[in-house]
Amino acid sequence: MALYNDHGEVLLQHRKHVLFSNMWDLTGASHPLRLRGRNETYAEAAARCVRKEFGATGISFRKIGAFNYFASQGKKCENEHCAVIVGKYNGNVKANPKVAYGFRWVPFSKTVSEIRRRPNSFVMWARLGAKVLRNNKVGKHLLAAESN
């Protein structure tokens, strides 16, 4: 999931994670849960995530794509289907220290360049999610917003 703003920036999280800690990620995860007897939508899962991880509310989310990935670290691994959810947000954020070491707003083009230069500093799902975003009209809009 990725939050973006009017300046063409995306919110990156310096992730605390059981398997892939101390790496950069897009804004957060969008794993739907089964809550109160029903399954969350991707938008509801993304809203729950940014509220818990950044204190941000009032964001409209939408799914722009998806991908499958497999990543391992030692004897542990992840094998997941991930939806790419985006939302526009221009407010303040504060990273929850239980899930993140910190965060930064980064121009989307710089994020793409950094992933190319230092792929191992980003979690696998962030690299794949950024590729989906870059190939979507939202990503093209972000790149155009940076030049304005």
For domain 2-146, give its CATH number from 1.10.3720.10, 3.30.428.10, 3.90.79.10, 2.40.10.120. 3.90.79.10
User: Which H or E run includes 44?
Assistant: helix 42-54
Model confidence over 130-148: pLDDT tens digits?
999 999 888 888 878 776 6
Query: Over the chain, what is the mean pLDDT?
Result: 92
Q: Domain residue spans in the chain?
A: 2-146
Q: Comparing C-alpha atoms, which of 42, 73, 37 is closest to residue 59?
A: 42
Q: Which runs of E-coded beta strand occur in the chain?
A: 2-4, 9-15, 23-25, 34-35, 38-39, 61-73, 76-88, 100-107
Model confidence over 9-40: pLDDT tens digits?
999 999 998 777 899 999 998 789 998 899 99
Q: What are the Cα distances from residue 21, in Å, to 15, 25, 80, 125?
A: 6, 10, 18, 13
Question: Which residues fall within 8 angstroms of residue 48, CB to CB, at 6 or more apart?
Answer: 33, 40
Which pTM does this prediction carry? 0.91
Q: Comparing C-alpha atoms, which of 54, 136, 34, 36 is closest to residue 97?
A: 54
